[in-house]
């Protein structure tokens, strides 16, 4: 993972995670390496969890 990546289990908002996902794709130029793909998958899982948390909080 890149040096600026977050630690697993960190508490980031869905918006922050979305920004990191977009940044990853921009840095990668649209084609992810195996390492970047692993980082992307972790970010997406955390983003989905953050979205679910936002929905529960709003309810």
Q: What is the pLDDT along the chain (59 residues), one digit of tens a residue?
A: 444 444 455 579 999 999 999 999 999 998 999 999 999 999 999 999 999 887 666 66
Q: What is the per-residue pLDDT for 1? A: 44
pTM of the entire predicted model = 0.72
Q: Locate tokens 């709003």: which residue?
A: 58
Q: What is the CB neighbour count within 10 angstroms for residue 42?
A: 16
Q: Is residue 1 part of a domain?
A: no
In a domain, 21, yes or no: yes
- Looking at the structure of the chain, the number of domains it has is 1
Q: What is the pLDDT of residue 3?
A: 43
* Distances in whole angstroms, Cα of residue 33 to Cα of each of 38, 41, 46, 55: 9, 12, 20, 32
Domain annotation covers residue 50? yes
- Check residue 2 and give its pLDDT: 46
Domain annotation covers residue 52: yes
> Is 43 exposed, middle or buried, given 0-12, 13-18 or 19+ CB atoms closer than 10 A?
buried
């Amino acid at each position: 993972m890149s040096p600026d990546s977050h630690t697993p289990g960190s508490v980031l908002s869905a918006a922050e995670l979305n920004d990191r996902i977009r940044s990853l794709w921009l840095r990668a130029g649209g084609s992810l390496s195996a390492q970047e793909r692993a980082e992307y998958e972790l970010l997406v899982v955390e983003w989905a969890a953050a979205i679910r948390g936002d929905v529960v909080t709003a309810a």
